Structures are given as C-alpha cells and as structure tokens.
Structure 1
C-alpha cells in the first residue's frame, strides 16, 4: 500500500481565481505569474486551467519553452530577462518578451541578430533595490532601446516591496512616475497585493501571482476572505498510529511537548521531507474528521503528531488535512514564521500529486 500522503491541485479553483482577478482588474490585461514551477503546483499540470489569461510570466527559459511546445501562442514574459547574450537566439526562436534591467542587456540586444524585434519590459527600480534602472537612468535606457531595430513594443514595469500596506505604494509610485514623465508607453506595475488593494496601480497589465493560487499576499488569509479566492492546493494524509499517553509523558524529538493529563495522540504520515515546515510549533492547526485540532511536539522527517482530544472517535486511517479549504496554508505559514509562497514551492517531489477538475 502506498504511503497515504497526497497533494491535490484544484483546477476549478485556478479557473475561478483567474476569473475573480479578471473582475477586479477589468480594465487591465493579466500576466499570470507561474514562476517556480507554477508556485509548486506544477506548470505542466496547471497552465491549461489558466489559459484564459492574456499571458504567462515566469523566469526560466525551460518553462517558457515548455509552454510554447504545449501549444501556448500568446505572450510569455521573462521576469528576470535573459542571463547571457547567447540566450537571445532562444528568445527570438520562441518569440518571448523579456525584461531589461541592466545596460549590458541593452547592448546585447543592439548587437544581436534576430529574425524580428522583441518586445521589451523596461524595469524601473521603485526603491526595492533588486533589479531595475534608477528613475534618473530610465529615460536614457528608454531611448537606447527605442533606437534599436531589435526592439519592438516597450512597456515600463516595476515592483512594489510593501503593496500589502495601505500606504505601501505611495513613494514607489512617485519614483516610477518621475522616471516615466517624458515617456509614453504601456505600464505593468501591480503584483497580487497591488491588484487587490491599490486600484490606481493596475494600469495596462497586472501581474498576479500568489492570489492565483488562493493565498494572501499579506500572509493573512482573513485579508482575502471577502474576495472569494479559493485554495488551489490541498495537502492531506492519514493517521497511521495512535498513542494513549499518561500525564507527564513526552512526544517527539527533543521532548518538546509534555502532556499535562491523559492524552490521545495521533501520528500522521507527513513531515518536513514532504515539505511541511520543520519549525511549525506545537499548536499549528490541522483538520481531522471535521474538527480543527493542532500539532504537538517537533515535526519529524516523515511524521508529525496531533492532539486527538477534540476528536475522540478518530482511528487509524482517518484523513487529515494539513492545508487546504479548512486549514489555510497562510495559517500554517504564519505559525511556522514563514509565508504561504514558501510552503507551496517546498512541496517535496516524493509527495504524490493528483489533479482534480
């Protein structure tokens, strides 16, 4: 018998979430962000559920080529651009849109031999200080690109560091507008948080990522509870063992949990080698037999322990939801001191994945 853990990808949730974003940003086109193998959901598994998008945004050439070879004909945006001049031949062959954030990329484009011009997203540094041109450099970069025969349409793009905060885009947007004051072009600024909570940032193209998968850009699912967004991934397993403990006994490595009374403990086939966060503390929520309970003790490589006090009728083989519709991935992440993005991307290859329509 196979180990009972399984991750389910909910295609209906992906389609639904895209439709919600379409309603929210009704005057914008949508780049569906599917980087990191579709945020851990599996690009090959999910792309057709998102085929009503206007374009896909990602990082790796391999993922872009996969989409083209699967039949995707609409735009694909490389969010970090190309990493060497030699890659421009591939961008040309597969007709990819590329971010440009450095002068060497502008020079490489000018010197390349292409079959047709490439569309460009010119990256403006909004103050996040990862990639992009400083506001005072943007106009010069724009004109260099505009004067190149290898460059087609140019769109200004940027990113926000704190768009989940009420005033989080005010200063970055001021920097972007300063950079673009003498430039006429399309704009792409809004990530998931800005798309939801800063309507004036949506402009021509929005770039939703985490909300496509039904988690919150703030890390608090309550912040998106009213949107109707649904989790696109659930992780479930089963109880494979039960221990009836006396008061004063301990559970797990390091004896981090000690019972204060007689207590029934369930052992679940899921651990950090499956992608569950090792640092999730006692009290991290789980859902068993229609009841919300919690973990106790340290998370092991292959197992974790849960408190069965609220659900005395459960038995070996009872299903356990680690995250999904009843336990939001944001709650697990918050308990473990991380974000839902990381848990999605950390799903281990050994976990079987099924796709539900």
Structure 2
C-alpha cells in the first residue's frame, strides 16, 4: 500500500484546546470546519467532546456529519444558514447559528421554531466580509434580545489582521466592537487563534480557536509568541527508490535542480496530489530516518525527491517526515510562500492514523 499518511495526535489536540480556553479565560468554540483543517472532523470532535464548550463549523453539512457521528455538544454554524430552508434542520438538530446578513435576519424573523434558537449576531467591525454594519447591528441586537423565539444572543465579530502584531487594526476593530456592544449585557465572542496567542489585551466571553488547535502558528517564524503549541499532525511517507546522480545531471520535471557533484537522490511517495506544495523550492526541509535533509527538484503529482547524499543508511523504505514537530507546518509554509492554513486544509489522498489521548486534565 502507498506509504503516505498523516499521524494525528489527539492528545496534542486536547492540550491545544485547553490552552486556548485558558488564554481566553472563558468558554471556547473548537473550530473543526474544513474536516478539522484536514485532520478529520469526526475523530477530532470525538476527542474534544468531553471538554469542548461548543464546536464551530462552516456549514450545515459539516454540522450534520458531527450529529450523525453522535456529537451532541453545541455546534455553531460560523457562516450561518445559506438558505432559509435550512432553518428547520437547525431547529431539529439543536444547532446554533450565526446571523451575519440582513437577509438572514429577515428569514429568522419569519421562521417559527419548535424551540427557541440560539443566535450569534455578527458585527462587521472592519473586515468587510460578513457582518452587519454598526447601525444595523444595534437594531438587530435589540430586536433579537426581546424576541421570544430566540433563546439567547451572543454578540460577535471577526479580526482581519490579528496575525500582524505590528498593526493597530485589531485594536481599532476591538474599539468598534466595544462601542457597538456597550449597552449589551449578554455574552460576546471576538478572539480567534492569533488574537488568543498575540493580543492578550483583547478579551471576550467566548473565543474561537481554529489553527492553534492543530498546533500551527498563524504568525511569522520570528514572531515573539511565548505560548508553546503541540503539533497534532505528522505528515510522512517513505522512500520508494534511490538513484545515484552524476554531477551535472538534473532530476525531475523542468530540470529545476542540477547536481553540483555526485549525489544520492531518494524518491518519496508524496506529491501535490497529496497536498504537498507543488511550488516547494529546492531546499525545503524534510527528515529522512530522523535526519535533516532537503528537497531537490520540482514536486510532481505523486512523488518528490530528496537529497540523501550524506545519509549513508537511507534506502528504500526509509521514513520521510514532511512536517510535524520538525520541520513544522509553519516553517514549511513560510518556505513555500503559503500559509499553514492552506497546507493543512489542502491535505488529501492521505490516510489519517490516530493516536488516542492518554489523559489530559
């Protein structure tokens, strides 16, 4: 069988969630949208269910997958409902929904649920993607707060530049949010992963950790962040061939790498069809049998090549780690000029193997 696989440490996932809740000081929505950022939504939710205050997903399909798997924690639809006819499903499955657009507010007002609904009302504090304007938000907050069809309302917004520690835009957005909720005595939610890790002065009742749950940092490699995250995924494969390359010979498509001297080249069963970056440059770090080395040549659909000249014992069957504790997904993303979000969410055709948690307090 093809040896490409992702090892998922569910204990590390739990530790990262508990850190997020500790940093937030209140309750935390564990964001498991996009198949838990490529880690497997059902297994991750099952591991977090005993401790998670709620889960966050993008859409109702993701919520129903968790419900069908037996997850009975609160589940928040972060984009809200995309069609009004989803409201009966939200009602039937006890889902929480964001309301972020005027048409959603109208549809919600026109719907009579079996039991009162839990709503998170979203303010556009400056990101200008989803959310009500401050004027619309204030009116909607008052209307929903006195509507008997609504069980509770949480005021929320989303940060656009929290991963930029030298930007004052997060403080500007927070000021807009504070002004819009000044007369609201209900719960609030403002902090995402970068806000939790890098902006301790910004607080809210509910926090929404996403990327940090999976042990990856949203910040540049040299950012002064004191918190230690536990990598959850180790992406690995094995060498399936070894080649001796004379000086002056090229390897791979486009002859992008030419051997400056005689080299041993290892061929790894991992390519861009698995989610490894196609444009990873020569020199992207990997481990072979635990020893650091580098990629050489262009990444192809099913394979990539690595330099094993200095690794005398490396041979067919040697284990190759593409990212994990070392090198980290954040480091690989930086070198490949992408983000750890894209790396993790782009994983496909790779079997996930899960390590169950031992005990996390």
- Is the TM-score greater than 0.5? yes
- 1:306 partner SS: strand
For 2:2, the equivalent position in structure 1 comes to 3
69 and 96 in structure 1: CA distance in 2 versus 1, 3 angstrom threshold: same
Does the 8 A contact of 1:221 with 1:331 survive in 2? no
Matches within 5 A, 1:28-177: 28-51=26-49, 52-166=51-165, 167-177=168-178
The structural deviation recorded for 1:168 is 4.2
| 1:291-302 pair list within 5 angstroms | 291-302=291-302
In 1, Cα distance between equivalents of 2:222 and 2:119: 35
State whether residues 52 and 73 of structure 2, in contact with CA within 8 Å, keep that contact through their aligned partners in structure 1.
no
Any residues of structure 2 matched to 1:1-357 within 5 Å, and which?
A: 2-25=1-24, 27-51=25-49, 52-166=51-165, 167-220=168-221, 226-348=226-348, 350-357=349-356
Which whole-Å deviations, capped at 9, do the CAs of 1:61-103 have from their partners, x for residues lacking one? 1221232233333321110001111111001101111111111
Please list the CA deviations of residues 129-167 of structure 1 after superposition, one character each: whole Å capped at 9, or x if unmatched. Answer: 100012232111212323433222111101111112333
Report the more deviating stretch, 88-97 or 226-235.
226-235
Deviations 1:217-275, CA, capped at 9 Å, x for gaps? 12538655x42311111111111111111111111100011111111111111111111
Unpaired runs of 5+ residues, structure 2, are 357-361
CA separation in 1, counterparts of 2:201 and 2:159? 13
Q: 1:67 to 1:223 in 2, by over 3 A?
A: farther
Unaligned runs of 5+ in 1: none
User: Structure 2 length as normaliser, TM-score?
Assistant: 0.94
- TM-score, length-normalised on structure 1? 0.95
**Helix, strand or coil: the match of 1:201?**
coil
Whether the 8 Å contact between 2:40 and 2:352 is mirrored in structure 1 is no
Q: Deviations over 1:314-345 (max 9, x none)?
A: 11111000111221011111121111111111
Question: Residues 320 and 334 of structure 1: is their aligned pair in 2 closer, same or farther, counting only changes over 3 Å?
Answer: same
SS of equivalent residue, structure 1 residue 9: strand
Q: Distance in 2 between matches of 1:107 and 1:17?
A: 38
Q: Distance in 2 between matches of 1:101 and 1:346?
A: 27
Q: CA contact under 8 A between 2:295 and 2:306: conserved in structure 1?
A: yes
RMSD: 1.6
Q: Contact 1:101–1:131 at 8 Å: present in 2 too?
A: yes
Report if aligned partners of 1:216, 1:223 keep a CA contact under 8 Å in 2.
no
